[in-house]
Amino acid sequence: MKRVRLGVVLLLVLSVAMAGCLDNNFVYARGKSVPAGESREWPFRGPANLSVEISSSVPVEVKVVSPDGTVLRDFGTVREVNGVVELPEGRWKVVVKNPGNETAVIDVTIKA
């Protein structure tokens, strides 16, 4: 019984440790809605080469920013993004904001 408990505790400790080491390194979403005036965010950790592919039914603002709002890359207000961003050390997020008056439907593939 003690061996089983020890095994379970060890498994839990390893799971938590591994989860702490892993950040988002892949996002794939099809048909994700972004209502007017709202945004969606996906976090990533650098250093990494971040591949960003986004297509939208209406123009959306796409940026890669730090948690404090510093913009690393601004793709502008677009319907499509297909690019690579070199993320420096630290935490970053890809932000898709819908500045329009109708709901945007987006397809997203982001890989680090």
> Most distant CA pair in the chain: distance in Å?
61
Residue 7 covered by a domain: no
**Bridge-partner residues for 29, per DSSP?**
108
Residue 5 covered by a domain: no
- The residue range of the domain holding 96 is 24-111
Residue 18 covered by a domain: no
- Overall number of domains in the chain: 1
What DSSP character marks residue 100? S
Residue 39 covered by a domain: yes
pLDDT per residue rounded down to tens, the chain (112 residues): 656 564 554 444 444 433 334 456 899 999 999 999 999 999 999 999 999 999 999 999 999 999 999 999 999 999 999 999 999 999 999 999 999 999 999 999 999 9
Residue 86 covered by a domain: yes
What are the phi and psi torsion angles at 110 (to 5°)? -130, 125
**Residue 41's CATH number:** 2.60.120.380
Residue 47 covered by a domain: yes
